[in-house]
């Protein structure tokens, strides 16, 4: 009887974790490209753009708190997804500029002038880009690659919350309107209730 397994015993050049999702219809090279682009957006967002944008919200300490939660959750997103790229047989670009230029969302720049309204608008749109990109990953993995789907869905949960937070802040700041986000305070900074490998329901 022919061996139905593609990956032979002891073979370290191929992965059963890739074989099974390919058989179920995942285009793995395309998925790896999507994950690298999304990782690039999370990396640039948390370590650079969110950091400098947040620092220009001086005097709005409440907004800075919200930004800090969103910034640290992007860091959790980066750390959650990078191992998955390697598990699938991919790798991060060796060249940081290439990595940056391939990011799935347009790089946010400090707006000119760096007003609170301009900063909040940028942050809102960056959350919207993240929602679109992670939803695409959910779409191509749903029912086929449970591990990537689970990670993308956990990230998406937080991106959707972030959009709601910035809608609330921008509506208040720009239009004097109350548009509640349904926000409850996070735990410690960097809590990331969905995207960190902590128990969801444990204190
Ligand atoms: Fe994110
Ligand atoms: Fe976000």
44 φ, ψ to 5°?
-65, -40
**134 neighbors 34 (Cβ within 8 angstroms):** no
pLDDT at 201: 46
Q: For residue 39, give both structure tokens.
A: 């990782």
Ligand 1 center–CA 128 separation, angstroms: 10
The band of 203, judged by pLDDT with boundaries at 50, 70 and 90, is very low
The band of 125, judged by pLDDT with boundaries at 50, 70 and 90, is very high
pLDDT at 8: 94
DSSP code of 31? H
DSSP code of 194? T
pLDDT at 202: 45
Segment 32-61, tens digit of pLDDT: 999 999 999 999 988 888 889 999 999 999
Ligand 2 center–CA 142 separation, angstroms: 21
Closest ligand to Cα 137: 1
Ligand 2 center–CA 144 separation, angstroms: 25
Ligand 2 center–CA 111 separation, angstroms: 18
pTM of the model: 0.93
| 92, pLDDT greater than 90 | yes
Closest ligand to Cα 123: 2
44: nearest Cα among 158, 122, 157: 122
**What is d(CA 114, CA 150) in angstroms, rounded to the nearest whole number?**
37
Segment 134-161, tens digit of pLDDT: 999 999 999 999 999 999 999 999 999 9
| 96, pLDDT greater than 50 | yes
End-to-end alpha-carbon separation of the chain, Å?
53
Cα 43 to Cα 17, 83, 115: the distances in Å are 26, 14, 24
Closest ligand to Cα 41: 1
Ligand 1 center–CA 155 separation, angstroms: 6
Average pLDDT over residues 10-34: 97
Closest ligand to Cα 43: 1
Average pLDDT over residues 163-192: 93
Mean pLDDT of the chain: 92
Which residues neighbour ligand 2 (ion) by CB within 5 Å? 70, 127, 159, 162
Cβ-proximal residues to 17 (8 Å cutoff; 6+ apart), any chain: 87, 88, 147
Closest ligand to Cα 163: 2
């Amino acid at each position: 009887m022919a061996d139905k397994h593609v990956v032979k015993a002891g073979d370290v050049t191929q992965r059963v974790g890739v074989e099974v999702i390919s058989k179920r219809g995942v285009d793995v090279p395309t998925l790896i490209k999507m994950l690298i682009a999304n990782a690039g957006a999370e990396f640039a967002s948390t370590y650079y753009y969110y950091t400098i944008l947040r620092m220009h919200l001086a005097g709005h300490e409440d907004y800075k708190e919200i930004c800090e939660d969103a910034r640290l959750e992007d860091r959790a997103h980066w750390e959650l997804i990078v191992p998955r790229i390697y598990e699938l047989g991919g790798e991060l670009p060796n060249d940081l500029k290439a990595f940056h230029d391939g990011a799935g969302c347009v790089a946010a720049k400090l707006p000119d002038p760096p007003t609170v309204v301009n900063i909040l608008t940028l942050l809102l749109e960056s959350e919207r880009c993240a929602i679109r990109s992670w939803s695409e990953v959910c779409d191509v993995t749903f029912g086929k690659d449970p591990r990537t789907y689970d990670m993308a869905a956990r990230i998406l949960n937080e991106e959707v919350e972030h959009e709601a937070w910035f809608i609330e802040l921008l509506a208040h700041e720009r239009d004097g309107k109350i548009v509640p986000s349904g926000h409850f305070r996070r735990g410690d900074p960097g809590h990331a209730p969905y995207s960190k490998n902590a128990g969801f329901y444990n204190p």
